[in-house]
């Protein structure tokens, strides 16, 4: 696993592997845990995604992020992978994330 700022490390790994036209890395840990840098949303726009299925795109992103997805690293990664054309058609809008449903051990009351 890569130590330090996981968001910056995630950004660098995706840029190196996929050369995206646009990339947004959003740390959503505050919605789920207590500052652990464990939950991220990625919006990746890449020409290389043209002709690929959504599953293939997600596999490519997972492969790029693999060093951070080890035990003790990033717990959750929401991936939104688009071609440049798809991104343009969306108007560059980043999808909203749903609220946390309370699965954190920090949200459970002590018995």
Whose tokens are 């693999």? That residue is 66
**The dihedral sign for the CA sequence 53, 55, 61, 64:** negative
Pairing mode, strands 39-45 and 76-82: parallel
User: Where do the domains of the chain lie, and which CATH numbers do they carry?
Assistant: 6-91 (3.30.300.90)
Which tokens in the block code for residue 2? 């890569």
- Mean pLDDT score of the chain, rounded to an integer? 84
The tens digit of pLDDT for each residue in 73-83 reads 887 899 999 99
C-alpha span between 37 and 28 (Å, rounded): 8
Between 109 and 92, the more confident residue is: 92
| C-alpha angle 102-31-99 in degrees, rounded to nearest 5 | 65
| Residue 98 confidence class, pLDDT cut points 50, 70, 90 | confident
- The answer to whether 20 and 14 are in contact (CB under 8 A) is yes
The tens digit of pLDDT for each residue in 29-61 reads 766 555 577 788 999 999 999 999 999 999 999
């Amino acid at each position: 696993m890569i130590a330090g700022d996981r968001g910056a490390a995630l950004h660098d790994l995706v840029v190196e592997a996929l050369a995206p036209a646009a990339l947004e890395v959003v740390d959503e840990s505050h919605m789920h845990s207590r500052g652990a840098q464990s939950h991220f949303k990625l919006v990746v726009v890449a020409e290389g995604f043209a002709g690929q299925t959504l599953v293939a795109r997600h596999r490519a992103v997972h492969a790029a992020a693999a060093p951070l997805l080890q035990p003790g690293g990033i717990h959750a990664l929401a991936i939104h992978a688009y071609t440049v054309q798809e991104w343009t058609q969306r108007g560059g809008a980043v999808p909203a994330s749903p609220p946390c449903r309370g699965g954190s051990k920090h949200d459970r009351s002590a018995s």
